[in-house]
């Protein structure tokens, strides 16, 4: 079960990495195009360089995790993969500690397109956490 959840997560995140690197203004695959501030940043070259730097930093970090997950899939036994799933659940759940309050505030201020994207993202993240928790329980 853990292998299936990890692979599904890797496919989703690979799409996100590709989007962030090659089409950051994309409003899909968690691209930054959902944030109206992305378009606004283009009016200020220094701010846009900073925004692009941060987007590429996130993409690079995601890529590191994808590579590590791939190694774990290839080399890890069932117990290691279940521990990996637990670690992923915990790590992904931190979204609700720091990121969700910010994106909820942006959603309420009308800074996201489409509207209610903050809720959609929260549901997706909660689903991922639940899937990884399930993977820790089912051998």
pLDDT tens track for 24-83: 999 887 889 999 999 999 999 999 999 999 999 999 999 999 999 999 999 999 999 999
DSSP for residue 26: -
- Quote the domain boundaries for residue 30: 2-137
User: Would you report the helix, strand and coil content of the chain in percent, each value rounded to 5?
Assistant: 80, 0, 20
pTM, rounded to two decimals: 0.90
Q: CB within 8 A of 100, min separation 6: which ones?
A: 118, 122, 125
How far is Cα 40 from Cα 115, in angstroms, rounded to an integer? Answer: 17
Residue 20 in tokens: 């962030």
Taking residues 73-95, what's their average pLDDT?
97
Predicted confidence at residue 58, as pLDDT, reads 97
**Domains in the chain: how many in total?**
1
How far is Cα 95 from Cα 113, in angstroms, rounded to an integer? Answer: 20
Average confidence score pLDDT of the chain: 95
Predicted confidence at residue 103, as pLDDT, reads 96
How far is Cα 82 from Cα 61, in angstroms, rounded to an integer? Answer: 22
Predicted confidence at residue 28, as pLDDT, reads 82
| pLDDT over 90 (residue 139) | no
Phi-psi label, residue 115: left if phi above 0, alpha if psi -120 to 50, beta otherwise? beta
- Decide: helix, strand or coil at residue 136: helix
Percentage of residues of the chain with pLDDT beyond 90: 93
């Amino acid at each position: 079960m853990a292998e299936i959840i990890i692979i599904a997560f890797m496919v989703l995140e690979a799409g996100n990495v590709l989007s962030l690197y090659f089409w950051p203004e994309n409003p899909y695959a968690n691209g930054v195009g959902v944030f109206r501030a992305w378009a606004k940043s283009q009016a200020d070259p220094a701010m846009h360089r900073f925004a692009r730097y941060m987007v590429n930093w996130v993409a690079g970090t995601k890529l590191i995790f994808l590579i590590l997950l791939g190694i774990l899939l290839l080399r890890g036994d069932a117990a290691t993969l279940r521990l990996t799933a637990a670690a992923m659940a915990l790590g992904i759940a931190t979204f609700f500690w720091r990121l969700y309050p910010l994106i909820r505030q942006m959603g309420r201020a009308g800074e996201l397109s489409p509207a209610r994207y903050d809720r959609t993202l929260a549901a997706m993240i909660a689903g991922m956490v639940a899937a990884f928790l399930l993977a820790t329980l089912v051998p």
